Amino acid sequence: MRVGRIGAGLALAVALAGCGTAGASGQSIADKDTLTIGVSKDQPGLGLRKPDGTFAGFDIDVARYLGAHLEKKPKKVDFKVVQYSDRESSVQTGKVDLVISSYSITPERKTKVAFAGPYYVAHQDTLVRTSDAGIHNVRDLAGRRLCAVNGSVSWQRVTKERGVHASLVQAATYGDCLTKLTSNALDAISTDDLILAGFAAQKGRSVRFVNAPISDERYGVGIAQGDVTGCEDINKAITEMYLDGTATKLLKKWFGATGLNLTTTVPQFEGCG
Amino acid sequence: MTMTEVPPSRPPAVRAGVARMVRIRSLPGKIRAIAFLSVLAVAAMFTVSWFAVSDARDGLRVIGHDAGPQVVATGDLYYALSDMDAQLAAVLLMGREQNLGSGRAKALQVYDQRRSQAHRALLQGSNLARNDPAEQQTARSMLDALGRYEEFAGQALQLDQRQSHTAGPPGQEVRSLYTQATDIMKLDVLPKAYNLTLDNGTTVRRTYESKHSAVLAGRVWVLLAGLVLIVILLALQAYLAVNFRRLINPVLAIATLATVVLIGGTIGLLTSEANHLKKAKGDGFDSVLSLSRARAISNNANADETRYLLDPTLADTYEQVYLDKSQEILYVPAGNLGEYYQQVDAKVAKGSGFMGFLGVEAQHVTLPGQATALSRTLDAYRGVQHDDAGIRRLSTTPGGRHTAIVLRTGTASQDFGSYDQRLVTLTAIHQKAFTDAIKDGDDGLNGWNIALPVAAVLIAILVLVGVRPRLSEFR
């Protein structure tokens, strides 16, 4: 039908004229029906893959909420495990649409990917064996064995930013670090309190927090550079998550028992574009 | 985005009517039909022009008079709030010493001044919240949180005065009260103010994208509708010439000419309006937004320098967030503050190789005076970082803490003030470009809401007047 064709033509013209800024792969996440979200598989409390293949944790719940509350249409959310060291490249190559995996916003990472959020601000602290009484703050790690997870900025905050000469013990994951800590293959794990809290809960009294935070870790949602519209939509959904009380509920659900000081007000956003 | 809807197909009754009219074989019937078509075409051209001009007007309203200015208002609010906490930290750091910097009394005076600024801005909640219930709720909860902040701040100040300590970290109790206060500011109040600024930025960006392209697309529609009208008028002219053996119908010729002028004028207007919008956004707004964010974060980082001296137990965190914020303002690859100072010196001297708010600004120099204002800002920023290096070096040298505090409250404070002033001057250049472009846009639209309908009616009348004598020949 003629009118139909003209109508379709007009709709196309309107769509072209109104297109927002899209990501590297060309399409804004705002226009997608399904979002592939990169998560971690080995962080209890944040992002953990269960034996049945499903995921659970604060990051996972946040991802589900954001998928369901994006302005344009609710999205189906698929999870994909992303290694710490692959987080930037997964977003850059479009292997995942978003990364929600205790992913700290840092100036250096911002040169490769953009960040919506942060959706939470954690703090870096240190976990040691309870029997080890000699560590009171991060400077006491000089000469001690510190866990270094590939692709994580945490150990660099100790050795590079603070200039503390700790000897580094490589590990693939924080779960790996924990095993090494309890088996005396290293002396300390220094990373975000939310990550440590999950592990501390697993190990009971054999490990303890040093309780001397050294940084603000702003957990962002990694997104392709240039997808300003998608980034703004996520920020809007994060604001909603705090306004409707979901953020408080989720924080209590996952970390309420840890005794950590939880912040239940919306964080200061990084800003898109 | 303006949706262009396809009109529903005419109901059969109307279609039959039109058909009957067109089927009229008589000469006057045909003339009437073509004249009627011309008037329809005039109406169509008027409609598309009206919508395109409305798009321009809406764009100017939101960007120039609503969300745009709100960015400045919320930016000022953030500054007042952030500086309140900075002054409080400075007062607590000075202790009982009266001769540090501009003195404790002066810092308290600035604190009060910022507090009333913040209150004024928040109490004018509707002004800030643009009648949006969610934003009004935000403004109210900010006011509540600010009340709690002031309570802790007041207690900290009182206790600090009673305990009367030398310059340096106050007692544990005062520090704990201050931490509670600054946490409310940092975790609750400031994020809301900053996010409001970002929200307004989003509104401006989205309005710009849809309205700018709608105005440009509007030009095409005006041209198409105008061409249709011209073709019909020429056809009418030719028809009359053939059937009445006259060379030209002068009134119809005037109508055609008027149409050409109107098309030209409207397209010219839309082009220049799109340009004004582009200038307002690209040369003005974008920089105003990023520089006011830079100012907000600079003030906060500067306060982190004071807090670093104020609370040794949190010094590590304050140092890390200082580096983080500094890299947001001016990014150079650096893993720690030592590297950062060096890189800032090297890259700023070179004039390239740095990113962040100031880096983006340096890549987009388009306005007169901007280059000078920018290089003065960058120089001042280097000065601020030199001071920071000095303060941190002194404070970790045995016996150097007092000198660090003297530097922090004296020279460093003045240097920061002059950096801030230069940043404000740079922002003002963009602010002026913004205001000018909006004013040009507004001026350009002046009178068009009258001119457009008048011109359309005039052309329609000319058409009718043009065919009337020919029709009367048949009476």
Q: How many domains does chain A have?
A: 2
Q: Are A143 and A218 in contact (CB under 8 A)?
A: no
Phi-psi region of B190 (alpha: psi -120 to 50; beta: other; left: phi over 0): alpha
pLDDT at residue number B475: 61
Contact residues on chain A for B217, CB-CB shorter than 8 A:
13, 17
**CA–CA gap between residue B286 and residue B289 (Å, rounded):** 5
Name the helix (H) or strand (E) containing A217.
strand A215-223
Residues across chain B: 475
User: Taking an 8 Å Cβ-Cβ cutoff, which residues of chain A contact chain B?
Assistant: 3, 6-7, 10, 13-14, 17-18, 20-21, 106-108, 110-111, 121, 123, 137-138, 156-157, 160-163, 212-216, 228-229, 232, 235, 239, 243, 263, 265-269, 271-273
- Tokens 């999870």 correspond to A79
Q: Are B212 and B2 in contact (CB under 8 A)?
A: no
User: Where in chain B are the domains?
Assistant: 27-472
Q: How far is B456 from chain A (nearest CA, A)?
A: 26
**CA–CA gap between residue B200 and residue A224 (Å, rounded):** 22
Residues A127, A59, single domain; the answer is: no
Write the single-letter amino acid at B376.
R
Q: Whose CA is closest to B285, among B434, B423, B425?
A: B434
Look at A260 and A270; give whichever has higher pLDDT: A270
> Residue B219: helix, strand or coil by DSSP?
helix
- Tokens 């409207």 correspond to B266
- Tokens 């073509």 correspond to B34
Q: Whose CA is closest to B92, among B384, B318, B405, B414?
A: B405
Residues A27, A108, single domain; the answer is: yes
Chain Cα centroid distance, residue B318: 31
Contact residues on chain B for A263, CB-CB shorter than 8 A:
187
**CA–CA gap between residue B59 and residue A25 (Å, rounded):** 30
At A2, the pLDDT band (50, 70, 90 cuts) reads very low
Name the helix (H) or strand (E) containing B107.
helix B104-123
**CA–CA gap between residue B141 and residue B119 (Å, rounded):** 13
Chain Cα centroid distance, residue A218: 9
pLDDT at residue number A145: 94
Contact residues on chain B for A110, CB-CB shorter than 8 A:
331
User: Is A3 a domain residue?
Assistant: no
User: Is A16 a domain residue?
Assistant: no
Q: How far is B92 from chain A (nearest CA, A)?
A: 22
Q: Whose CA is closest to B258, among B468, B50, B34, B458?
A: B458
Residues near B431 by beta carbon (within 8 Å), at least 6 away in sequence: B72, B284, B288
Q: How far is B10 from chain A (nearest CA, A)?
A: 12
Interface touch A123/B9, C-beta < 8 Å: no
The two tokens of residue A244 are: 């409707």
The partner residue sitting opposite B191, judged by closest CB among A14, A111, A267, is A267
Contacts across the A-B interface (CB distance below 8 Å): 100
Report which DSSP code applies to A244. T
Residues A145, A193, single domain; the answer is: yes
pLDDT at residue number A24: 45
pLDDT at residue number A250: 95
**CA–CA gap between residue A251 and residue A267 (Å, rounded):** 14
Report which DSSP code applies to A31. G
Q: Whose CA is closest to A203, among A255, A144, A128?
A: A128
Q: What is the pLDDT along chain B (475 residues), one digit of tens a residue?
A: 344 444 444 455 555 555 554 455 678 888 888 889 999 999 999 999 999 999 999 999 999 998 888 888 889 999 999 999 999 999 999 988 888 877 888 889 999 999 999 998 887 755 555 567 777 778 888 999 999 999 999 999 999 989 888 888 999 999 999 999 999 999 999 999 999 899 999 999 999 999 999 999 999 999 999 999 999 999 999 888 888 877 888 999 999 999 999 999 999 999 999 999 999 999 999 999 999 999 999 999 999 999 999 998 888 889 989 999 999 999 999 989 999 999 999 999 998 889 999 999 999 999 999 999 999 999 999 999 999 999 999 999 998 889 999 999 999 999 999 999 999 999 999 999 999 999 999 999 999 999 999 999 999 999 999 888 888 777 6
- Judge whether residue A21 has pLDDT over 80: no
Report which DSSP code applies to B354. -
The two tokens of residue B250 are: 């002068």
% of chain A residues with pLDDT over 90: 51
Residues A76, A208, single domain; the answer is: no
User: Is A149 a domain residue?
Assistant: yes
What number of other Cβ atoms are within 10 A of residue A36's Cβ? 18
**CA–CA gap between residue B51 and residue B31 (Å, rounded):** 30
Q: Are B434 and B284 in contact (CB under 8 A)?
A: yes
User: Is A187 a domain residue?
Assistant: yes
What number of other Cβ atoms are within 10 A of residue B227's Cβ? 14
User: Taking an 8 Å Cβ-Cβ cutoff, which residues of chain B contact chain A?
Assistant: 1, 3-4, 6, 9, 134, 137, 145, 187-188, 190-192, 194-195, 198, 201-202, 205-206, 209-210, 213-214, 217, 293, 313-314, 316-317, 319-321, 323-324, 327-328, 331, 333, 335-337, 355-356
Q: Whose CA is closest to B455, among B277, B254, B289?
A: B254
Residues A191, A243, single domain; the answer is: no
User: Is A106 a domain residue?
Assistant: yes
The partner residue sitting opposite A215, judged by closest CB among B1, B209, B317, is B317
Q: Are A202 and A69 in contact (CB under 8 A)?
A: no
Mean pLDDT of A207-234: 91
Residues A130, A211, single domain; the answer is: yes
- How many H helices and E strands in chain B? 17, 0
% of chain A residues with pLDDT over 70: 90
Look at A174 and B182; give whichever has higher pLDDT: B182
Q: Which domain holds residue A106?
A: 22-121+217-258
- On the CB side of B128, CA atoms within 13 Å amount to 29
* DSSP-H helix ranges across B351-447: 356-362, 370-396, 401-409, 411-445
pLDDT at residue number B10: 47
Residues A99, A129, single domain; the answer is: no
Phi-psi region of A226 (alpha: psi -120 to 50; beta: other; left: phi over 0): left
> Residue A165: helix, strand or coil by DSSP?
coil
Chain Cα centroid distance, residue A162: 23
Mutate to test the interface with A, among B6, B149, B329 (most CBs of A within 10 A): B6
Interface touch A269/B321, C-beta < 8 Å: no
Interface touch A18/B213, C-beta < 8 Å: yes
Interface touch A14/B3, C-beta < 8 Å: yes
Task: Name the phi and psi angles at B97, rounded to 5.
Answer: -70, 130
pLDDT at residue number B99: 81
- Tokens 């709720």 correspond to B137
User: Is A268 a domain residue?
Assistant: no
What number of other Cβ atoms are within 10 A of residue B216's Cβ? 18
The two tokens of residue B466 are: 């043009």
**CATH number reported for the structural domain that contains residue A87 in this entry:** 3.40.190.10
Name the helix (H) or strand (E) containing A119.
strand A114-129
Interface touch A20/B333, C-beta < 8 Å: no
Residues across chain A: 273
At A6, the pLDDT band (50, 70, 90 cuts) reads very low
**CA–CA gap between residue A125 and residue A196 (Å, rounded):** 8
pLDDT at residue number A160: 86
Concatenated DSSP letters of B135-196: HHHHHHHHHHHHHHHHHHHHHHHHHHHHH---SS---HHHHHHHHHHHHHIIIIIHHHHHHH
pLDDT at residue number A16: 36
Report which DSSP code applies to B283. I
pLDDT at residue number B128: 55
**CA–CA gap between residue A128 and residue A19 (Å, rounded):** 52
Interface touch B195/A266, C-beta < 8 Å: yes
* DSSP-H helix ranges across chain A: 2-17, 58-69, 87-92, 154-156, 174-182, 193-203, 228-243, 246-255
* Sign, CA torsion A115/A119/A122/A127: negative
User: B398-413: b or e for each residue (b if 16 or more CB lie within 10 Å)?
Assistant: eeebeebbbbbbebbb
- Tokens 């010439």 correspond to B241
Note the pLDDT tens digit of each residue in A87-111: 999 999 999 999 999 999 998 899 9
* DSSP-H helix ranges across A34-147: 58-69, 87-92
Q: Can you give the pTM of this predicted structure?
A: 0.86
Q: Which of A151-160, A203-212, B57-66, B117-126 has the highest mean pLDDT?
A: B57-66
What's the complex ipTM?
Answer: 0.84
Largest CA distance in chain A: 82
- Judge whether residue A32 has pLDDT over 90: no
User: Is A11 a domain residue?
Assistant: no
Residues A137, A184, single domain; the answer is: yes
Residues A134, A212, single domain; the answer is: yes
